[in-house]
A and B are shown apart, each in its own frame.
Chain A
Amino acid sequence: MWGVAAVAALGFLGGCATPPGEDSSQVMYDEVHDPIEPLNRYFFDVNNALDAVALKPVSHIYRDALPDAVQDSVSNFLSNLSQPMYFINNVLQGDLDGAGDNMGSFFTNTFLGVGGLFDVAQIDYQEEDLGQTFAVWGISEGPYLVLPILGPNTTREAVGIAGEHFIDPVNLVANNNDIDNVPLIRGLATAIDFRSRSLDSLDEIEKNSIDFYATIRSLYRQNRKALILDGNGDLTPLPDISFDQDDDKPLPSDRISLLVEDDESPDLKAKSSDN
């Protein structure tokens, strides 16, 4: 319980933090929105060190030692376990079609796919978590937050993760049947599954970036935005390439990024009315 309270408290603290002074433009501030950056950088380094000594080596062994078919089945099994939670979130977001896809996948793969080991359904479902649901409800993402072990988050997503722990049907079923350590084992397995598939790309990003922390922060934010928009092609987040050259300046109506500011604008408005 205290974990949740702490996360929530952090969120409120962050929410009250005032934007930086005049020297940074509002635009830049909104993009980065990282008022506790020094602390975040510290935990980012701690997490990287933990990753290097624990998660990364294990994921390497997992990837290299196990046959691909086994890894796929682990992946399928874990995705299938997440479907009830995706279903709940789709319902909460009012996306009944999406919820139907989740339900279809879950039942087909559980019964025909040997408990979810095989993806028989082959349905393109969407991964919806509580953080995304909050976003759909109009809650702004809040400051960027790197939590110990949990890694990159925004305040909204962190509260979502904590909330899901208590409403996830899989955890409830496990609790009711006195099966211990289900969330723990599942969390570890998910972490290893994900890490083993991102070994190369993460190494690559680390090697090529001149500020790994800022790159990850940017990737995380952009990826979250895309997830919230459910990969809606017409709303692909794109940079607003506007320049001081007058003949090159897009008309206000051409500024595509306006389309993707829905996520941020309530926050923006709230701030300007505060000031």
Chain B
Amino acid sequence: MKIKTLLVLSVTAFCFAAAPALVIPTPHTAHAAEKPGQKEAKELVEQLGTEAVELLANDTISAAEQREAFDKLISRDFNMKLIGRFVLGKHWRKATKDQQVEYQALFKRYIISTYQKRIGEYSGENLKIIRAKPLNKKEFLVLSQIIRPSGPPIKLDWRVRKGKKNGQKIVDIIVENVSMAITHRDEFSSVISQNGGQVEGLLARLRKQIASAEK
């Protein structure tokens, strides 16, 4: 009896991995003097949020057109090369030049097809930008919330990084304290080790996923 109750009691834990339902808003700390680029980081996210929601809620254009426009937005505001490399992690150096090139192209398409749908489903909900806070010399964290018609708001943070040339780009999105870059990295790394440590295994899996997502 004890074991049985113990097991069933904790069925909850089965699901606790994903999508934490409770939001604990972070208390606002006092505003320090604005650093150079702090305002720009906030504006970057604000602008992107407005344009992305507008684009993905637009039903008058075809799915292919929408994808292309979304691709442009992503390329403009995200440092996809840096993210792609971070996500591949230690396997980057193992990959051949050709594999690296193909990986970067596939990674971008994978991200676009995945997030296009996710954001498309968020229409009707509002993105509220709260503030930007400096993380280090090169980076800011822009804090925002998705305000939903029902249920608590979703916490969404954007990691914005100054590039080698001027201009800032987003390098990570953190949903409810869960980093998308780390999640993808853990996932990709697992696929590679499931395929005997071959980067080719990951590329094949990505091709398959993109093909089914873009149908």
Cα-based distance from A216 to B178 in the complex (angstroms):
11
B-chain residues with CB within 8 Å of residue A111 when the two chains form the complex: none
Chain A interface SS verdict (over half): helix
A-chain residues with CB within 8 Å of residue B183 when the two chains form the complex: 215, 218-219, 222
Is B141's CB within 8 Å of the partner chain A?
A: yes
- With contacts A188-B11, A238-B174 taken as known, whether A211 is within 8 angstroms of B187 at the C-beta atoms is yes
- With contacts A32-B190, A184-B4, A250-B136 taken as known, whether A220 is within 8 angstroms of B10 at the C-beta atoms is no
In the complex, residue of chain A having the shortest beta-carbon distance to the beta carbon of B21: A197
| Shortest Cβ gap from A233 to chain B (Å) | 3
Cβ A183 vs Cβ B85 within 8 A: no
In the complex, residue of chain A having the shortest beta-carbon distance to the beta carbon of B159: A238
Contact residues, A19-62 vs B (CB, 8 A): 23, 25, 27-28, 31-32, 47, 51, 55
A3, A187, A216: which contacts B18 (Cβ < 8 A)? A216
Cα-based distance from A23 to B135 in the complex (angstroms):
33
A-chain residues with CB within 8 Å of residue B15 when the two chains form the complex: 151, 191, 194-195, 198, 202
Cβ A247 vs Cβ B164 within 8 A: yes
A-chain residues with CB within 8 Å of residue B171 when the two chains form the complex: 241
Is B62's CB within 8 Å of the partner chain A?
A: no
Contact residues, A203-222 vs B (CB, 8 A): 204-205, 208-211, 213-220, 222
Is B57's CB within 8 Å of the partner chain A?
A: no
Is A201's CB within 8 Å of the partner chain B?
A: yes
B13, B136, B181, B182: which contacts A256 (Cβ < 8 A)? B136
Residue pairs across A and B with Cβ atoms less than 8 A apart, 9 shown, are: A149-B14, A190-B12, A198-B15, A208-B213, A216-B18, A230-B24, A237-B177, A238-B179, A243-B85
